[in-house]
Structure 1
């Protein structure tokens, strides 16, 4: 395919690839290995004293306060269990505002004065750790000279043993806070927001006659999209290696236009990787359910089953770590960037969201006759109110430099946050707005026309893939999060806006009932008010249409196209009041996340800009100049021989080469520009000057890729990276 030695060597190495030796046993039953490395309730029941176990169950399942007196017994049992599985160290695992996972390892062994050592792990050590807080992003919550930070055991998320060829480690999920008790992580606000939502969900359920209902929790089912490329190609692409996405690359002759990759047969090498990852995920208690080819060549998806939001968030981080490590074992790199390849679909992380408990199930299940299901309608209306009031916060929760490349493209929803309800629910709420719902559209039947095939049940409404927040039968699917992002951010916002909306619903209904209003009548009035005041967020049309942004503006919906537009939503008075009222963030914590978001944006784009300048100057420009020189030498030789020379090829190459030089000069100037002290102003300048300059360099370089002789082009091409696995 290529005569360039760098690319040819990579191709030969891909061709010579041999699958790694694996411990996978075809006779092994997945059910038996599921959760085998998790310190689960079943493990606790076998190893803990009965009273300690009961206390743990009460905390985990009913959210009662943790009894500190049980910590020593739990720590001892946890240590013995982990060491039996080969663990030599333990680690408090936490989730700092980098969006990644952090861990600090300590040995179980403590020295004794006689030269020996013994294994110990106390309750105090289990409950609390102390990593450096100043070396992580904190947005001004900690000064550089103030280093102390604390990790605290989250009993709601189970500990697990992480296997490694070099040795196993007991991993304990923890929160990460400053000395002032302010959150320096993603887990703490998830727990706070969950608690706030549960309080007001319980009030609503009690109004519907449920006596002392079980604690309501948020459930999350994140669908993870990703790309796989061979490691040899990665090592020949500085942009993929350092930025996680290609900064150059011409569109291949064949992309995704045939739709032949989507749900196609999974390549053998990829299937081996998937089976290997699933085995590791099963051992860690992560319920991976679905795997398939995604739309773009080289793109795939894994979807776990629903879990409690806190645990789902932890599992999502662990899933990404596992995918990265297993991919390397299979000679590949797993790419989680939202847009690693231009011109084909990017990757998202669709967050399926619902609320409920084990007693009542999901509270977002409409049933066969949703117009009669008042409890469902109130919870659904709460979602509508929350999203309409705080759509800007939802957009801010998924804001990143990477996701800016994806939102609004043909595989992702637009940046305008709206709700798709489907025909059935839209009709029900339309009836409510006009005075009361009396009917629901029924399911139909699809007649196939083949006698041997059964008739299929038809849902009362279709799905809308262009909606950022769509009802999909028993849950809402938030399609805007990017594949590289933690699901904690969106879940914090969803929980908090639900807390506010359910608080409003409960307060309104309680007041109406206290005044003697019939409860059913009070519910009807509440629903009518919500749909009248907040129904503008409901949009069942095409989110990609040119007319939608115009209509959305008329409806008063925000179109926050970029991260720089979205992040200020975090520090509006309305947002600060929301999060402080429900005890999720104080004003300092909100400002810290705003500052960190801008800092991450500036750093991400700056790294990409420097890479663009470096690769353009040292790789692409020399290749183009060499080719131009070859062509010029050919023209000169022909003229010297008295042969008429055709200058068209030389001229065709010279034009984009001149554009490349001009673009590189413009980019160098944009990078060297001194930015203001204000973070928002700096991010704005980078968005408006650096990104356009990068685009000019890329346009010229990608044109040259289609012109320069193949043996001079050293960067692996899209054609190679997307199709050679």
Structure 2
């Protein structure tokens, strides 16, 4: 099994290993400058990357591409465009340009905007996030992108996240230079632990409230809940174990480092925990994880519930975020072994505590949803 995991891991991802293997050396170096130093992406470089990416995706069966983005709906969105391009003699070629890779122009009028978008400015723009690898899903090349309005306002969850990561990096680098550290960038990392419920499909279909809202709105308490606490870390049921095995394999193919799986406290509740990653990548991975859970569960006669509080009287489902800041070689929230290293740790720890205290209202607003209120 170990050899198989190593073989399939990241097999559907256009990652740095694939880039290094397939891109011309000069193109790879230029793209690395964009990935790691934020250098502008030259259109000629984008054209080469797009051509190589298309060939790689087609080898995996892809016929279409999509700018995969995160509007203010709480789920991801995608529009599939074919590589196919007729040439006029009754035949066709497969094309994908650097311009198509870097930018898209979806209609923004049917997505939530919070009143930011004027009626006469219906156009939206998607822009490639090269720091999050493209991947193939359901025979479609998926390109992670940001989504903004005609005048540049964020219409998604990724754009504010990328901006906040950049703002935090600028200030963290400034502080590190006071400690004599020569660093160019500080990244934030997170490993979202995803809790979820698995219930039998026939039970789900018998409850219109579950179908329509994702939670039960009425009903008698269960005869047996979580009082005995025996479900937590208990033996995993065979059908759930088979679901988890397939889920792991599909996530590994997408380069998602699924690490831990176990029963949670409430009956029929479970958890998947990944290894932490750069924040924007980890969020992309979490959204993919949730999508795969819902897609795979019906194969085993199950339905995956991801509402924060699907059942009254037992635990709800959280998404624990183990957040930190780091340079290439150093976790900034890890206590040091010397007084000077401890001083640096204490400075960053104090800054985080002050930020959480001073901007608690913004933090709470960012996670204020009806589901979390129920939980």
TM-score surpassing 0.5? Answer: yes
Match of 2:175 among 201, 204, 213: 204
1:114 aligns with 2:85: no
* Paired position in structure 1 for 2:145: 174
Query: Secondary structure of the equivalent of 2:287?
Result: helix
Match of 1:344 among 306, 311, 314: 314
1:394 aligns with 2:363: yes
Query: Secondary structure of the equivalent of 1:352?
Result: coil
Match of 2:267 among 281, 297, 302: 297
Preserved contact between residue 121 and residue 150 of structure 2 (Cα < 8 Å): no
Preserved contact between residue 72 and residue 113 of structure 2 (Cα < 8 Å): yes
After TM superposition, the structure 1 = structure 2 runs for residues 421-432 of structure 1, keeping only pairs within 5 Å, are none
After TM superposition, the structure 1 = structure 2 runs for residues 550-629 of structure 1, keeping only pairs within 5 Å, are none
1:363 aligns with 2:332: yes
Offset at residue 27 of structure 1 (A):
7.7
User: How far, CA to CA, are the matches of 1:370 and 1:240 in structure 2?
Assistant: 55
Offset at residue 64 of structure 1 (A):
2.7
Preserved contact between residue 335 and residue 341 of structure 2 (Cα < 8 Å): no
Preserved contact between residue 261 and residue 296 of structure 1 (Cα < 8 Å): yes
Query: Secondary structure of the equivalent of 2:192?
Result: strand
* Paired position in structure 2 for 1:75: 50
Offset at residue 368 of structure 1 (A):
5.2
Offset at residue 68 of structure 1 (A):
3.1
Query: Secondary structure of the equivalent of 1:90?
Result: strand
Offset at residue 63 of structure 1 (A):
2.8
Gaps of at least 5 residues in structure 2 are none
User: How far, CA to CA, are the matches of 1:232 and 1:199 in structure 2?
Assistant: 53
* Paired position in structure 1 for 2:189: 219
Offset at residue 58 of structure 1 (A):
1.7
Offset at residue 52 of structure 1 (A):
0.7
* Paired position in structure 1 for 2:160: 189
Match of 2:221 among 251, 254, 257: 251
* Paired position in structure 2 for 1:617: none
Preserved contact between residue 122 and residue 150 of structure 2 (Cα < 8 Å): no
Query: Secondary structure of the equivalent of 2:80?
Result: strand
User: How far, CA to CA, are the matches of 1:49 and 1:369 in structure 2?
Assistant: 45
Q: 1:369 to 1:140 in 2, by over 3 A?
A: same
User: How far, CA to CA, are the matches of 2:56 and 2:32 in structure 1?
Assistant: 19
Deviation sequence 1:514-551 (CA, Å, 0-9, x none) = xxxxxxxxxxxxxxxxxxxxxxxxxxxxxxxxxxxxxx
Q: 1:331 to 1:393 in 2, by over 3 A?
A: same
Preserved contact between residue 134 and residue 143 of structure 1 (Cα < 8 Å): no
Preserved contact between residue 39 and residue 158 of structure 1 (Cα < 8 Å): yes
User: How far, CA to CA, are the matches of 2:91 and 2:261 in structure 1?
Assistant: 50
User: How far, CA to CA, are the matches of 2:50 and 2:2 in structure 1?
Assistant: 35
* Paired position in structure 1 for 2:200: 230
* Paired position in structure 2 for 1:89: 64
Offset at residue 69 of structure 1 (A):
2.8
User: How far, CA to CA, are the matches of 1:351 and 1:159 in structure 2?
Assistant: 24
User: How far, CA to CA, are the matches of 2:52 and 2:33 in structure 1?
Assistant: 18
Query: Secondary structure of the equivalent of 2:20?
Result: helix
Offset at residue 99 of structure 1 (A):
1.2
TM-score when scaled to structure 2? 0.97
Alignment coverage as a number of residue pairs: 375
Deviation sequence 1:252-285 (CA, Å, 0-9, x none) = 2211000000000111100100010010000000
Preserved contact between residue 215 and residue 310 of structure 2 (Cα < 8 Å): yes
Match of 1:315 among 285, 288, 297: 285
Preserved contact between residue 327 and residue 333 of structure 1 (Cα < 8 Å): yes
TM-score when scaled to structure 1? 0.51
Q: Which protein has the bigger helix share? A: 1
Offset at residue 60 of structure 1 (A):
1.4
Query: Secondary structure of the equivalent of 2:109?
Result: coil
Deviation sequence 1:133-174 (CA, Å, 0-9, x none) = 0100001122455321111111111000013xxxx1100001
* Paired position in structure 2 for 1:633: none
User: How far, CA to CA, are the matches of 1:191 and 1:159 in structure 2?
Assistant: 17
Larger Rg: 1
Preserved contact between residue 327 and residue 334 of structure 1 (Cα < 8 Å): yes
* Paired position in structure 2 for 1:403: 372
User: How far, CA to CA, are the matches of 1:27 and 1:131 in structure 2?
Assistant: 42
Moved over 6 A (4+): 369-372
User: How far, CA to CA, are the matches of 1:149 and 1:221 in structure 2?
Assistant: 30
Preserved contact between residue 43 and residue 99 of structure 2 (Cα < 8 Å): no
User: How far, CA to CA, are the matches of 1:365 and 1:183 in structure 2?
Assistant: 33
